[in-house]
Amino acid sequence: MKHQRAAAAAAAVFATALMVTACSSTSSTSAVTASGAAAPGKVITLDYWAWGNGWDQDIAVWNKEHPDIQVRHTDAGGGNDSSAKLLAAVRAGNAPDLALIENTSLPRMIVAGVPLDITDYVKDIKGAYADGTWAQTTFDGHTYAYPQDVGPMALVYRSDIFQKYGLDAPVTWDDFRKDAEVLKAQDPTATLATLTTDGWGWYAAVAAQVGDMWWSLSGDTWTVNINGDGSKKVMNFFQGMYDDKLITTEPILTPEYNAKLNDGTMLSWPSAVWAPGVLYGVAPDTAGDWSLAPLPRWNANDATVSYQGGSSVAVVSTSKHPKEAAEFGAWLNASPEGSQLILNVQNSYPAAIAGQEAAKKQDPPKLMPQQTDYYDIVAKIASDTRPVTWGPDTDVAQSAFTDAMNAAVQNGTSWADALDATQKAVVADMKEKGFKVSN
């Protein structure tokens, strides 16, 4: 019943939003408003949870400039682990003041009452972001996090090998398949790409290219469209490539996968603009052999892509110092100084406009030093990016999709049927939790 009341409250409050929020066991501590400031002269210490490297360098800049508000960093891990740890900490009463949250997880964190509604703190910084970026953390006029980095989707590929065989970067997914056929004919040991069986978010984003949104909300009613016609078209297309041995489904960033990156038998990664840093970390000797291009599209005349990845910083609802936490969050993510640190220290593509403008003046990533127009290409991709709507139970979608896809690959059955299984699991979960679902 508590889940049902939470979901009903969410739909009522954000009837016109893309996502939902809800009352929960933390609601009594999340009603801190912008008036909650620290006593004058008192040194405030804030705890910030975030994965990745370089945070000590960023925080040192802040701490030097703000002696009265000091920040401590803890690496709580990334992905689902970080969300689970954060939720447990909020319930236990020992959560940090701020936390980095993946954008795919933000809606369910809102439902659980984890992030504070920071609308009163962000009135002056909305202009620091493009509308589409701001929409990822603002629902029905209520803002729950500061966008930190974004991942417009792109293709990173071995341009040296493509050029060797007279190939250009593929413009469409049909071109992608044709290139795979040529490359396989030239080198049977080579594979154009792997699409992992746990890549539910990747498939959701590519399905959005054909207009299928896996979740949407109208009024107080959710529509779940994971197994829509467009999504099934996507699955059938890539299963065809897999059946013809043009792609694999092996996990990424394993020793075996990394070896293929280094020896030139794994030739591309359809991913996002953050990928060059990841690849350089495991295949530095291939620097100069790679280039970045827009992600292939289904329609040659429609360059629209979605976001893959991206994260935002939330002020946690249990923070005793929300005003100071909001001040740090704004500086780190929205200011020119902070967003350039995200660019240069975290090596991420900043969500803030100032950071993206600064990127245009940067040298290309170490993976492709020869691609001097790299950030011009990234800026164009970013301008063609549309947000993906994520629902309140992406963890259920991830688990169901991965199980169904593993079974489909192992048994040689339809990948599109995996979407049916995921659809069924997600709809059942949402209804059990009290959400109104149209299907």
DSSP assignment string, 333-345: HHSHHHHHHHHHT
Q: Which residue has the higher pLDDT, 216 or 9?
A: 216
Which helix (H) or strand (E) segment is 132 a member of?
helix 131-134
Lowest mean pLDDT among 158-162, 169-173, 247-251, 381-385: 381-385
Cα–Cα dist 426/406, whole Å: 18
Domain containing residue 301: 153-308+388-433
Do residues 355 and 340 make contact, with C-beta atoms less than 8 angstroms apart? yes
- Average pLDDT, integer, range 400-405: 98
Cα–Cα dist 209/299, whole Å: 9
Do residues 46 and 70 make contact, with C-beta atoms less than 8 angstroms apart? yes
Cα–Cα dist 243/252, whole Å: 19
In a domain, 371, yes or no: no
Q: What is the residue whose two structure tokens read 């997880």?
A: 105
Supply the pLDDT for residue 37. Answer: 57
Supply the pLDDT for residue 28. Answer: 34
* pLDDT value at 35 more than 80: no
* pLDDT value at 434 more than 70: yes
Residues 408, 328, single domain; the answer is no
Task: Give the 3-state secondary structure of 153-222.
Answer: EEEEECHHHHHHCCCCCCCEHHHHHHHHHHHHHHCCCCECEECCCCCHHHHHHHHHCCCCCCEEEECCEE
pLDDT tens sequence across 268-306: 999 999 999 999 999 999 999 999 999 999 999 999 999
Residues 207, 270, single domain; the answer is yes
76 pLDDT tier (thresholds 50, 70, 90): confident
In a domain, 212, yes or no: yes
* pLDDT value at 13 more than 70: no
Minimal CA–CA distance to 86: which of 38, 139, 145?
Answer: 145
In a domain, 29, yes or no: no
* pLDDT value at 17 more than 50: no
* pLDDT value at 27 more than 60: no
Residues 195, 83, single domain; the answer is no
Residues 336, 404, single domain; the answer is no
348-364: buried (b, 16+ CB within 10 Å) or exposed (e) per residue? Answer: bbbbbbbbbebbeeeeb
Residues 299, 333, single domain; the answer is no
In a domain, 13, yes or no: no
* CATH assignment of the domain containing 318: 3.40.190.10
Cα–Cα dist 29/113, whole Å: 9
* pLDDT value at 24 more than 80: no
* pLDDT value at 55 more than 50: yes
Cα–Cα dist 45/127, whole Å: 28
Domain boundary among 346, 361, 376: 361
pLDDT tens sequence across 359-392: 999 999 999 999 999 999 999 999 999 888 899 9
Supply the pLDDT for residue 3. Answer: 41
In a domain, 338, yes or no: yes
> Going by C-beta distance under 8 Å and a sequence separation of 6 or more, which residues neighbour residue 157?
169, 267, 268, 269, 290, 291, 292, 293
Residues 196, 84, single domain; the answer is no
Supply the pLDDT for residue 78. Answer: 76
Residues 193, 268, single domain; the answer is yes
Q: Which residue has the higher pLDDT, 342 or 23?
A: 342
Beta bridge partners of 312: 101, 147
Count structural domains, the chain: 2
Supply the pLDDT for residue 39. Answer: 61
* pLDDT value at 348 more than 80: yes
Tokens of 121: 């703190």
Supply the pLDDT for residue 300. Answer: 94
* pLDDT value at 322 more than 70: yes
pLDDT tens sequence across 90-143: 999 999 999 999 999 999 999 999 999 999 999 999 999 998 899 999 887 899
Residues 269, 195, single domain; the answer is yes
Residues 158, 248, single domain; the answer is yes
- Average pLDDT, integer, range 190-194: 98
- Average pLDDT, integer, range 238-251: 98
In a domain, 22, yes or no: no
Residues 196, 328, single domain; the answer is no
Lowest mean pLDDT among 75-79, 155-159, 317-321: 75-79
In a domain, 392, yes or no: yes
pLDDT over 70 for what percent of the chain?
A: 91
Q: Which residue has the higher pLDDT, 77 or 245?
A: 245
Supply the pLDDT for residue 25. Answer: 36
Supply the pLDDT for residue 38. Answer: 55
Supply the pLDDT for residue 374. Answer: 97
* pLDDT value at 258 more than 60: yes
Residues 211, 85, single domain; the answer is no
In a domain, 174, yes or no: yes
Residues 301, 411, single domain; the answer is yes
219 pLDDT tier (thresholds 50, 70, 90): confident
Supply the pLDDT for residue 51. Answer: 94
Q: What is the residue whose two structure tokens read 């933000």?
A: 106
SS3 assignment, position 107: helix
* pLDDT value at 173 more than 60: yes
Do residues 111 and 312 make contact, with C-beta atoms less than 8 angstroms apart? no
Do residues 334 and 231 make contact, with C-beta atoms less than 8 angstroms apart? no
